[in-house]
Amino acid sequence: MSFLRISILILSSLSLINLTGCLSTEYKEYIFEINSDGSGEGEIIFYNLVSVEDDEKDVSFKDFGELVSDYIEGTSFENDNPNYLVTNKELLEKDSILVGRVEFYFTNINDIGFFKSEDCDCSPLIYFMGDFGETYSESNGNYLGEEKDFPVIIWQSDADKIYIKTVVQDDLTGTQSLLKLFHTWKDSQ
């Protein structure tokens, strides 16, 4: 598989969720558990889901409606990420912020943006961060972006638990919390 093809595959799967309109999240956590055959399960947690003002206008009602109809009740996440076989999507409150969680399984770690040579069990597991609108924050792997200006995270060949945290919306100026709208929606269920 060529480096260009791998990069395109990784960048497309790293988008992981392309929030519509002016939706954003403060940061994300990616958690993957990998089986010996390369299959596994994972979850993506979106902390502090917010609406970004549009020309200084509060569009949070519209954004929350899209979040629920397109992502929680709809299939936008699945359409954007066909190799993530979704088992659960939910919104919840945690520490007075709105959190989104997507749980899924996958049939091969190489199909969801990671690279591991299938020719050798000694091959490290590699994740190319690229430029997808998120900034590396931390992981349980070795991030080369700071040392070598190459946005790659590497894990040992036997790694079976992967953790990555990224920052999406560092500056929350001009954003609106969606927590009150979540409470209204949840109470109406």
pTM: 0.85
3-state secondary structure of 30: strand
Q: What confidence tier does 72 reach under pLDDT thresholds 50, 70, 90? A: very high
Residue 2's pLDDT is 44
Residue 8's pLDDT is 34
| Residues in contact with 83: Cβ distance below 8 Å, sequence separation at least 6, in sequence order | 13, 106, 107, 111, 112
Residues 81-111: tens digit of each pLDDT: 999 999 999 999 999 999 999 999 999 999 9
| Residues in contact with 85: Cβ distance below 8 Å, sequence separation at least 6, in sequence order | 104, 105, 106, 107
- Stated as kind and residue range, the H or E segment containing 73 is none
3-state secondary structure of 145: helix
Distance between start and end Cα atoms, the chain: 48
The full set of domain ranges for the chain reads 3-188
Encoding tokens for residue 111?
A: 């199909």
Q: What confidence tier does 21 reach under pLDDT thresholds 50, 70, 90? A: low
